[in-house]
Structure 1
Amino acid sequence: MRTRSLRWRLTWVLLKAVMVAWLVWMGCQVWQQRMERTGLWDASLRDIAAQVLGSMPDGLKALPARARPPKPNGARDWKMSFQVWVDGRNVVYSPAAPLEPLKPDFRDGFATRVIDGERWRVYSLTEPQRGITVQVGRSKYQIVNEMRGWIAWSVLAAALIFVLFGIAVWGVIGRSLRPLTALRRTLLERKPLDLTPLHAPGLPSEFRPLVDAFNGQLERVDNAVQHERRFIADAAHELRTPLAVLTAHADLALRADTIEEKNAALQRLSAGVRRSARLSEQLLDLARLDAGAGPPPLLPVSLSELVVLVVRDFETLARDRRQRVSLQSEPCTILGDVDQLGILLRNLIDNAVRYAGMDGQVAVSCLHAVRDGVRGVELRVSDNGPGVPQADRGRIFDRFFRVPGQSEPGRADGGSGIGLSLVARIAQIHDARIEPCDGIEGRGFCIAVFFPRAPDPAG
């Protein structure tokens, strides 16, 4: 479907508005002119009758009534006709006057008659002393003809005005839209990844909000692109080291001289593969969260049951490290996405198990709580490991941040610094409050996540 340009639409709408206004004005003027001209014509007929009557000499009774001469050519163009009657005889008359009386009853005053198929406006004036009656008339054809002439000139003038007005509006709109055309040309000439804000000097104020909104979108896209570039660069750096380690362990296993050396190298290789798989999984989770078109639908989820399932998944790893994992839970239901909440729990518990160390302790709790007058559910995962210094706790949720001085840098992923950033991102999606705190018996580290507005399980 073909769409007309804004320039054409504005010009056409303005022309139609002016045309409607002119038609209304023209109708009023025609009515007013008709009323005024009728009054003027009546006054003119009255004045002419008085003048003709005053100019008639005495002795008209002696004049014979003459026969009607042929009507002259162009008789309809005569603007006025008169007759002078004496004792029932038409003794004086104008060339265009009809043969019969203009006003047969000869009463003084105005009348409208049909003579020779035409409507006439006539006036009769009598002087009784001399017995003279003057009748003056004018054909309605003259009124209509003059009105037609006036309307024709008005229409011609209006057409000229409409043409000039349309040209002026077309030109003004075109000049006003030139900055927009220049802006379009600038966009077409831009490189694909040029996200600098647009500058459009002279742009009409009506288009300024559109350009501002577009610049805001460009800024958001630029931030997203920069964010993805940093993410890809950091991810490539983080993957390069594990892959190099895996290659080294594989080379050691190939060059091992004894079964014991080969088994030791293969064990280190297997551990490296697990760490690389964990890193890849977290990178994929992070990319999936960032690529989401919008927040997922939040449905009632039993957080307490989900905590039990995830803790059981880490029983083997905790047993290998001779760790004691305690769980304190009560029925807790929140609004959330079960897949994202599972990622959050796995990262928190994996973080605690890895850094509690051999013979360490891990405590997981899921309880109802009230924060600042808001009822909700608080999830806590604590350990008694080396902990995180107060100075670094504000940065532990940054991507790829590593706590200096730890034997295993990072927290939730064994070295990449991705796990807690995942936790923070998922907490933000669920409108949850997350904060670091001290671990078990004042040692180690703890992460507390508060989910507000939890539905009532009894309801």
Structure 2
Amino acid sequence: MNSLRRRLFVMLLLCFLAFWGLWVGVFGAFFRHEGTGLWDNSLLTHAQEIVQFMPKDYQLLAIAPVTGLSAKTWMRDDMSYQVWVDGRLLIRSPGAPEVPLKPDFRDGFVRRPVQGEPWRIYAFSDKARHIQVQVGKPQSDYETIYLWLAGVTLTSLVLMMGLLGLAVRWGIRWSLAPVMTLSKTMQSRAPLDLTPLPAATLPAELRPLLDAFNDQLVQLDRAVQAERRFIVDAAHELRTPMAVLSANAQVALHTTNVMQKDASLRQLLAGVERSARLSEQLLDLARLDATRHARPRVPVDLAELITIVIGDFDILVQQNNQRIVLQIEPTHIVGDVDELGILMRNLLDNATRYGGKGACIEVACGHDADGTARLRIADDGPGVPPEERERIFDRFYRVAGTDQRGSGIGLSLAARIAQSHGARIEMGAGVGMRGLGITVLFGAA
């Protein structure tokens, strides 16, 4: 049974039936007990009433009728009675047997067979013990009343079950109406409409589920937006390099001048390298968007990691006649190894690219006195004007007047990774108060 509505309906009806059955059982036991008491009290009251209105001279009973008793007392058809005077039956109700209902003539209650049928009998005598009234009725009369009450109860149960079923069905339908409305809202949405669903009218019990679903929608929307940004960024950034590569290839293909052909090929090679670097940064950007909140953070030694990253730049540093000065010590933080590697690689790429030929690049990491982890990469190149330093972390922003052509993605990637690690970036002068120095400050591990 996969329907929540049917489950609630069946569960409520079963609970009602269980409680109703328990109540009927308790009521039946109570009625059997108390009903017998009420019946006995009726027999006792009737016997005492007959004795009370007997004449003081009991001998007159043989020659005079009993006066003072109502016809309701004498002519009752719900029980039988006998009036015995000194062992002789003088008066009996219609249908009462001629033999004593209680042969031992002792006052009190007794259950005994009369004419082959069980009876409940009560005997009561006057003070002089000359007159005794015996009152009784068949046990079958009580069973008839009990069965009648049981039939009325079961009939009421069936009617109440029907009414309750309709009420429960309507109540469940009314309670789940917001869910059905929400379902229709979702079906009418556009395929890529990932805005959170409204929860104002939803029952409180279902709001945690909707909140979790909305969280998933938000994450999915971020992923879709990231994918869209990646496509736009890739198209934007690859359009110009591809055009330049095509132009250089056309020149190299059609020229007959060897020197011009070599120059075109060198430009073509540089363009390929820039395109490869751009593709790598775009992939890093896509990877960063895709793995946000998905990868666990682990202990990382910045000194060990920066040493590995620097090894990837050995050939480039040698070609540019640059040198890297290390001032590192074990610096432990908690973070994502891959993301921190991207951050370091982009900061080093920026320093080697814009530091220029023969540049000195300082790489340092360590802990401050307050436990803050510090990573600093600085160069002694032309640097960045102070008024433009904040903007170099914007995506696709390039400083005007530089010889090197960059994508404007690397530093924006570094800034995003620093932000995701709860770190802040400071900028200032580089080596020997020249160039640019970028410092990333991480919280204590």
TM range (shorter): 0.7 to 0.9
Output the amino acid matched with 1:406: T
Q: Does 1:6 align with 2:4?
A: yes
Output the amino acid matched with 1:248: A
What displacement does 1:329 show? 1.8
Q: Does 1:392 align with 2:391?
A: no
User: Relative to 1, partners in 2 of residues 1:437 and 1:113: Cα closer, same or farther, differing over 3 Å?
Assistant: farther
CA shift digits 1:292-333 (9 cap, x unpaired): 274434444443233233324323322332323211122334
Residue ranges of structure 2 left out of the alignment (5+ in a row): 65-75
Output the amino acid matched with 2:438: I
Moved more, 177-186 or 359-368: 177-186
What displacement does 1:7 show? 2.0
Structure 1 Cα separation of the partners of residues 204 and 273 of structure 2: 60
What displacement does 1:121 show? 2.1
Give runs of aligned pairs for residues 117-136 of structure 1, distance below 5 A: 118-127=117-126, 131-136=130-135
Output the amino acid matched with 1:170: R
Q: Does 1:311 align with 2:310?
A: yes
* Structure-1 residue corresponding to 2:68: none
The one of 429, 441, 444 equivalent to 1:450 is 441
Residues 179 and 200 in structure 1, CA contact (< 8 A), matched pair in contact too: no
What displacement does 1:337 show? 4.2
Give runs of aligned pairs for residues 11-22 of structure 1, distance below 5 A: 11-22=9-20
What displacement does 1:98 show? 4.2
Give runs of aligned pairs for residues 43-442 of structure 1, distance below 5 A: 43-53=41-51, 54=53, 58=59, 79-98=78-97, 100-116=99-115, 118-127=117-126, 131-198=130-197, 203-204=202-203, 206-207=205-206, 210-211=209-210, 214-215=213-214, 217-292=216-291, 294-370=293-369, 373=370, 375-408=371-404, 414-442=405-433
Give the secondary structure class of the aligned counterpart of 1:190.
Answer: coil
Output the amino acid matched with 1:44: S
Output the amino acid matched with 2:395: R
CA shift digits 1:313-372 (9 cap, x unpaired): 3233223323232111223344444443332222111110111112322111122324xx
Residue ranges of structure 1 left out of the alignment (5+ in a row): 64-76, 409-413, 455-459
Output the amino acid matched with 2:190: K
Moved more, 299-308 or 145-154: 299-308
Structure 2 Cα separation of the partners of residues 119 and 238 of structure 1: 107
Residues 298 and 337 in structure 1, CA contact (< 8 A), matched pair in contact too: yes
Output the amino acid matched with 2:393: F
Provide TM-score, normalisation by structure 1: 0.83
Residues 176 and 203 in structure 1, CA contact (< 8 A), matched pair in contact too: no
Structure 2 Cα separation of the partners of residues 376 and 10 of structure 1: 57
Output the amino acid matched with 1:179: P
CA shift digits 1:93-122 (9 cap, x unpaired): 334434542222212232333445544321
Give the secondary structure class of the aligned counterpart of 2:191.
Answer: coil
Structure 1 Cα separation of the partners of residues 187 and 83 of structure 2: 88
Output the amino acid matched with 1:189: S
User: Relative to 1, partners in 2 of residues 1:245 and 1:128: Cα closer, same or farther, differing over 3 Å?
Assistant: closer
Moved more, 236-245 or 30-39: 30-39
Residues 437 and 445 in structure 1, CA contact (< 8 A), matched pair in contact too: yes
Residues 226 and 286 in structure 2, CA contact (< 8 A), matched pair in contact too: no
What displacement does 1:270 show? 0.7
CA shift digits 1:254-276 (9 cap, x unpaired): 12222211111111111111111
Output the amino acid matched with 1:420: L
Residues 329 and 365 in structure 1, CA contact (< 8 A), matched pair in contact too: yes
Give the secondary structure class of the aligned counterpart of 2:256.
Answer: coil
Structure 1 Cα separation of the partners of residues 18 and 98 of structure 2: 47
Structure 1 Cα separation of the partners of residues 164 and 204 of structure 2: 24
CA shift digits 1:113-146 (9 cap, x unpaired): 3445544321112247583322111222222221
Output the amino acid matched with 1:30: G
Structure 1 Cα separation of the partners of residues 200 and 419 of structure 2: 40
Give the secondary structure class of the aligned counterpart of 2:136.
Answer: strand
CA shift digits 1:229-257 (9 cap, x unpaired): 12211221101111111111111111222
Structure 1 Cα separation of the partners of residues 196 and 444 of structure 2: 40
User: Relative to 1, partners in 2 of residues 1:261 and 1:382: Cα closer, same or farther, differing over 3 Å?
Assistant: same
User: Relative to 1, partners in 2 of residues 1:320 and 1:243: Cα closer, same or farther, differing over 3 Å?
Assistant: same
* Structure-1 residue corresponding to 2:70: none
User: Relative to 1, partners in 2 of residues 1:310 and 1:25: Cα closer, same or farther, differing over 3 Å?
Assistant: closer
Give the secondary structure class of the aligned counterpart of 1:121.
Answer: strand
Residues 223 and 290 in structure 2, CA contact (< 8 A), matched pair in contact too: no
Output the amino acid matched with 1:45: L
Structure 1 Cα separation of the partners of residues 234 and 353 of structure 2: 21
Output the amino acid matched with 1:320: Q
Structure 2 Cα separation of the partners of residues 177 and 212 of structure 1: 17
User: Relative to 1, partners in 2 of residues 1:192 and 1:349: Cα closer, same or farther, differing over 3 Å?
Assistant: same
What displacement does 1:379 show? 1.5
Residues 80 and 95 in structure 2, CA contact (< 8 A), matched pair in contact too: yes
Give the secondary structure class of the aligned counterpart of 2:24.
Answer: helix
Output the amino acid matched with 1:383: D
CA shift digits 1:175-200 (9 cap, x unpaired): 33233223212322333212345458
